[in-house]
A and B are shown apart, each in its own frame.
Chain A
Amino acid sequence: MHISKNLSIRRKQMLIMMATSSVALLLACAVISLYEVFAFRDTMRENLVTLADIVDHNTFAALDFDDPQAAGETLAALQADPSIVGAWLYRKNGEVLAKYDRPNDNIIFTPPELRPNGTLFQGQRLVLNRPVVHKGEVIGTLYLEADMQALYGRLLRFAWIMGLVFVASLLFAFGLSNRLQRLVSDPILHLAQVARSVAGDKNYSLRAKKQSDDELGQLVDGFNEMLAQILQRDAALESARVGLETRVIERTAELAKANAALLLENTERKRAEESLLLLGTAIDQTKESIVITDAELDLPGPKIIFVNPAFTKMTGYNEAEVIGKTPRILHGPRTDRALLDRLRENLGHGRVFEGEAVNYRKDGTEFDLEWQIAPLRNAGGKITHFVAIQHDITRRKQLEAKLFQSQKLETVGKLAGGIAHEFNSILTAIIGQSELLLGDLPAGSPLAHNATEITKAANRAATLTRQLLAYGRKQILKPEILDLNSVLTGMETTLRHVMGRDADVRLSFGPGLKAVKADAGQMEQVIMNMVINASDAMPNGGKLVLETVNTVFDDQSVGRYPELKPGHYVMLAITDTGTGMSDEVKTRVFEPFFTTKDVGQGTGLGLSTCYGIIKQSGGHISVYSEPGRGTSFKIYLPQVESRAQPSVVRLDSPDLPGGTETILLAEDDPALREMAATLLRRLGYNVLTATNGVEALSLKHQRNIGHIDLLFTDVVMPHMSGKELADRMQAMYPRTKILFTSAYTENAIVHQGVLPPGVTLLQKPFTPSALANKLREVLDRPDVPKSEDA
């Protein structure tokens, strides 16, 4: 059955028909055979009975008259029927009268026991046993036995016929079925073919051909109807789809429109949100403290409802701590009550109020702030809130103070410079007159001492004046492109000498240091002053660090130095580990004549001079100090683009012209004297030093030190001016050459008659190289006898 499921409908039909035919035929054959068997048996039985009747009829007499021979002859006639196996005829008393055995039968026929009368199929035999009755009297018994060979032979024949009939019928049935099944299968196959085409091509316009009016015809009708319906439905679906698509397109358009509107709205909202967010961010991130309060002016006052982070940063109060409180919590003893009253009054009138006040942080410290408090009005014009924008001006105040200090220094400097300038003229006159006086006095006159004192005092005043001039930025500067590292290198030996052995001097050069534009000599003087100052601060030794570095001041950092412009600078820091200074000293350290040293130990003009020089060079100088730990001066000079020319030659450079001549050095400024002496010795010269002219002369007088090739003297010195000293020296040693030095310009000095024209003057401050070169120039000048003096 499983196999037959996948067969084609034709084969199935054939199978069904053939199976049915076979079964029917088999049944028919079986029934016929069975019937035949029974019929034949009946026939056999009848035949046997008939035979028995014949035998009876012919053996009556033999039985009646006990004639075995006659009986035997009669029985022998049974030979005519080959199916008779045997026959026995019994007498009435049971004795055998006659018997018959089928001839040529290898079966030995044995006399059977007397049996009930009648016929009986017994195994493969049919037996008959019956009394022989004659004239109503039983005269004997007849026994007949027949075999079934005939039956079987007949059945075999019958079977053959049946088989042939069966095969022929099947063949016929096959042929017939094969033709007839088409009646059913052809329409089905056709239908299947059409269905396949429809399914394959999706062509619902195909139609199956109706071949009959039976159920198959109805099926084809149904199928065609279905196709028609599908076609209709497809059309309906298509039109619905088209309608739907149209609707979708319409809806999409509407949606797009709505979407665009939404997008626009969204964009606007987003813009508004962004704007709000931006506003919020601005408020959150601005450095201005913003406080919003309600508009309650009556006591206890408006309540804070909003503060921004800058407020917290400014005051130390966080949002939770101030919300609901009044701004009074920020007020303290130094808060101006009158200002608050004015504020309240202004706000009461709906006016914006601006002012400065002192407030107090959470930790109790004061800070200065600038207020701008404005009422906020709602759409109806009613004041609903106040907003306070508070700007911490503590720093500005500090800067203002600094600027004030700086301006003060400036003013003082200008004043000092102006005075010094006037004083210069006056002092020139005084010195000149006193020297004239001294010259006119006879030797040994007691007035000479007075005149000398006048000259000394005037010289001291001149020195101060010179320093004041420096401070007042009235000096004549010769700015050049400088490399501060080179300047420091050139000064290193001198600096170490000045600092003494106990001090540890370190130089730290910033890499790629930019050049600055300044007067080299002045810069050396500034550095020297600073170092001397540090040396004084470290009487027991310590560490001195000089470092250079490029630095940039932007708009923000320049705020710390109100006088500075933003830009690129070179910084020179001079840091000691000395005693340091108090804040008070620190604020006044650059003031002229301010000194912590004992009277007579310093003029109080050193740092002022530095200040003036740096300022005059467009730079700035600041000081940072901690008492007991040390002081750091920082000098800022604007960078210049071009590389510095090595204008400052190293002291120990072999290029510096030197010599072996003997030089007498007269200089009242110990630092300068020391510096110059060291330099000259290094250059190979034999150097004699004197603090003033008198000492110089006495030195010459006291010790016979031989020929002095050159006198290097300051013009303005106490006790004896450089001019006098030079004159005296030349009077004694006409071949001694003279080199003057002065902070005054040659023009000024010569013009004012301090020095005669034609003398050689080395303008202070001078660089080591300038000194060396100038010295060599004077020494190498051919001797020109001073005809004028003579």
Chain B
Amino acid sequence: MHKPDSKALKRRTGKLSRLAMACLGFMVSLLGPASGFGGEPPLTQYQVEAVFLFNFAKYVDWPPAAFTNATAPITIGVLGTDPFGDSLQHVAEGKTINGRPVTIRHLVSDSELGGCQILYISSSENFRVGQILGKAGALPILTVGESELFVANGGIINFVLKGGKVRLEINLAPAKKNGLDISSHLLAVADVVRGKSD
């Protein structure tokens, strides 16, 4: 506990500390985050999206039928051309969510949808997104895509670029239909939209 010797000293140290803080703040702003916080380069869109993909697992509760057992991994399936490279793998590596590890699976066909909890539908598949969503929409799968029609086609979360930043559009109806419970926290940071089916 700070115990000043006198009022005057107390006042002086107060001023000093404030001055020191101001100086510190000035220096931090000059040097920028690079020097202040590790100096990692800015994430690319897909690196951000990879993190978001992984993070979705934290905010969504799947019905127990979605997993084979209690410790079955959460599988993120990437359908279509993989834009993430190895960043998605990197994000999920070694981590567990709710006691479940997260695995990445690259899908080549629609038949491989079962077993995925999160399905990223690459923009390469935009041409047949309705088809894919039709299939996926019958399963407890959190569908994530990035196209203007994705939500309208019954997709649940759509990545949108707003001001250079990756933002989220969420369509709650398909989620509810498939028994997915999306956390309100996630909803708070996303735009909730309505699909055409509604």
Q: Which residues of A contact B (CB under 8 A)?
A: 57-58, 60-62, 64-67, 70, 90-91, 93-96, 107-108, 110-113, 121-124, 134-137
A residues less than 8 Å from B81 (CB atoms): none
Task: Give B143 Cβ to nearest chain A Cβ, in Å.
Answer: 17
- Interface assignment of B97: CB less than 8 Å from any CB of chain A: yes
Task: Give A329 Cβ to nearest chain B Cβ, in Å.
Answer: 127
Query: Contact: B37 with A94, CB < 8 Å?
Result: yes
| Contact partner, B168, options A65, A96, A113, Cβ 8 Å | A65
Q: Which residue of B lies closest to A71 (CB)?
A: B189
| Contact partner, A60, options B14, B21, B185, B190, Cβ 8 Å | B185
B1-26 interface with A by 8 A CB criterion: 1-2, 13-14, 17-18, 21-22, 24-25
B residues less than 8 Å from A110 (CB atoms): 21-22, 24-25
- Interface assignment of B28: CB less than 8 Å from any CB of chain A: yes
Q: How distant is the Cα of A94 from the Cα of B33 in the complex, in angstroms? A: 7
Q: How distant is the Cα of A336 from the Cα of B92 in the complex, in angstroms? A: 189
- Interface assignment of B40: CB less than 8 Å from any CB of chain A: yes
B residues less than 8 Å from A60 (CB atoms): 58, 185
Q: Which residue of B lies closest to A134 (CB)?
A: B58
A residues less than 8 Å from B13 (CB atoms): 123
| Contact partner, B58, options A62, A67, A123, A135, Cβ 8 Å | A135
Give the 7 A-B CB pairs with smallest separation, nearest first: A94-B37, A110-B25, A61-B185, A64-B55, A67-B189, A110-B21, A61-B189
Q: How distant is the Cα of A514 from the Cα of B154 in the complex, in angstroms? A: 203
Query: Contact: B37 with A65, CB < 8 Å?
Result: no
| Contact partner, A123, options B17, B38, B166, B183, Cβ 8 Å | B17
Query: Contact: A66 with B48, CB < 8 Å?
Result: yes
A residues less than 8 Å from B65 (CB atoms): none
| Contact partner, A65, options B18, B24, B52, Cβ 8 Å | B52
Q: Which residue of B lies closest to A125 (CB)?
A: B17
A122-B2 CB under 8 A given contacts A93-B38, A108-B22: yes
B residues less than 8 Å from A111 (CB atoms): 25, 28
B residues less than 8 Å from A70 (CB atoms): 188-189
Query: Contact: B188 with A61, CB < 8 Å?
Result: yes
A residues less than 8 Å from B48 (CB atoms): 66
A58-B185 CB under 8 A given contacts A94-B37, A107-B18, A110-B22: yes
Q: How distant is the Cα of A628 from the Cα of B38 in the complex, in angstroms? A: 177
Query: Contact: A65 with B186, CB < 8 Å?
Result: yes
Task: Give B19 Cβ to nearest chain A Cβ, in Å.
Answer: 10
Per-residue CB proximity of B168-198 to A under 8 Å, as 1/0?
Answer: 1000000000000001011011100000000
B residues less than 8 Å from A66 (CB atoms): 48, 165-166
Query: Contact: B59 with A95, CB < 8 Å?
Result: no
A65-B22 CB under 8 A given contacts A93-B37, A95-B37, A135-B98: no
- Interface assignment of B96: CB less than 8 Å from any CB of chain A: yes
- A–B Cβ pairs within 8 angstroms, 16 of them: A60-B58, A61-B183, A61-B188, A61-B189, A64-B55, A65-B189, A67-B167, A67-B189, A94-B37, A96-B33, A123-B14, A123-B17, A124-B14, A135-B58, A135-B98, A136-B97
- Interface assignment of B106: CB less than 8 Å from any CB of chain A: no
- Interface assignment of B128: CB less than 8 Å from any CB of chain A: no
A residues less than 8 Å from B17 (CB atoms): 123
Query: Contact: B189 with A113, CB < 8 Å?
Result: no
| Contact partner, B2, options A91, A94, A121, Cβ 8 Å | A121
- Interface assignment of B90: CB less than 8 Å from any CB of chain A: no
Secondary structure class of chain B's binding surface, majority of residues: helix
B residues less than 8 Å from A93 (CB atoms): 33, 37-38, 40
Q: Which of A70, A135, A136 is packed against the most chain B CB atoms within 10 Å?
A: A135
- Interface assignment of B95: CB less than 8 Å from any CB of chain A: yes
- Interface assignment of B36: CB less than 8 Å from any CB of chain A: yes
A residues less than 8 Å from B165 (CB atoms): 66
Per-residue CB proximity of B52-65 to A under 8 Å, as 1/0?
Answer: 10010011000000
Query: Contact: B59 with A94, CB < 8 Å?
Result: no
A residues less than 8 Å from B97 (CB atoms): 135-136
Q: Which of A67, A110, A134, A136 is packed against the most chain B CB atoms within 10 Å?
A: A110
Query: Contact: B21 with A94, CB < 8 Å?
Result: no
B residues less than 8 Å from A135 (CB atoms): 58, 97-98
Q: Which residue of B lies closest to A135 (CB)?
A: B58
Q: How distant is the Cα of A699 from the Cα of B187 in the complex, in angstroms? A: 227
Q: Which residue of A lies closest to B18 (CB)?
A: A107
A residues less than 8 Å from B98 (CB atoms): 135
A residues less than 8 Å from B186 (CB atoms): 61, 65
Task: Give B58 Cβ to nearest chain A Cβ, in Å.
Answer: 5
Q: How distant is the Cα of A62 from the Cα of B190 in the complex, in angstroms? A: 10
Q: How distant is the Cα of A107 from the Cα of B183 in the complex, in angstroms? A: 38
Q: How distant is the Cα of A549 from the Cα of B21 in the complex, in angstroms? A: 154
| Contact partner, A95, options B22, B33, B95, B167, Cβ 8 Å | B33
Q: Which of B36, B48, B168, B189 is packed against the most chain A CB atoms within 10 Å?
A: B189
Q: How distant is the Cα of A110 from the Cα of B24 in the complex, in angstroms? A: 8
Task: Give B185 Cβ to nearest chain A Cβ, in Å.
Answer: 4
Task: Give A93 Cβ to nearest chain B Cβ, in Å.
Answer: 5
A113-B14 CB under 8 A given contacts A70-B189, A121-B1: no
B residues less than 8 Å from A124 (CB atoms): 14
Q: How distant is the Cα of A499 from the Cα of B25 in the complex, in angstroms? A: 174
B residues less than 8 Å from A121 (CB atoms): 1-2
Q: Which residue of A lies closest to B52 (CB)?
A: A65
Q: How distant is the Cα of A265 from the Cα of B22 in the complex, in angstroms? A: 129
Q: How distant is the Cα of A91 from the Cα of B18 in the complex, in angstroms? A: 25
For the A-B complex with A70-B189, A121-B1, A123-B2 known, give 10 more contacts whose Cβ atoms are closer than 8 Å: A58-B185, A62-B188, A64-B51, A64-B52, A65-B55, A66-B165, A90-B37, A123-B14, A136-B97, A137-B95
Q: Which residue of B lies closest to A139 (CB)?
A: B55
B residues less than 8 Å from A122 (CB atoms): 2
Q: How distant is the Cα of A319 from the Cα of B19 in the complex, in angstroms? A: 136
Q: How distant is the Cα of A44 from the Cα of B37 in the complex, in angstroms? A: 30
B52-107 interface with A by 8 A CB criterion: 52, 55, 58-59, 95-98
A residues less than 8 Å from B21 (CB atoms): 110, 112
Task: Give B92 Cβ to nearest chain A Cβ, in Å.
Answer: 11
A residues less than 8 Å from B37 (CB atoms): 90-91, 93-95
Task: Give A89 Cβ to nearest chain B Cβ, in Å.
Answer: 13
B residues less than 8 Å from A137 (CB atoms): 95
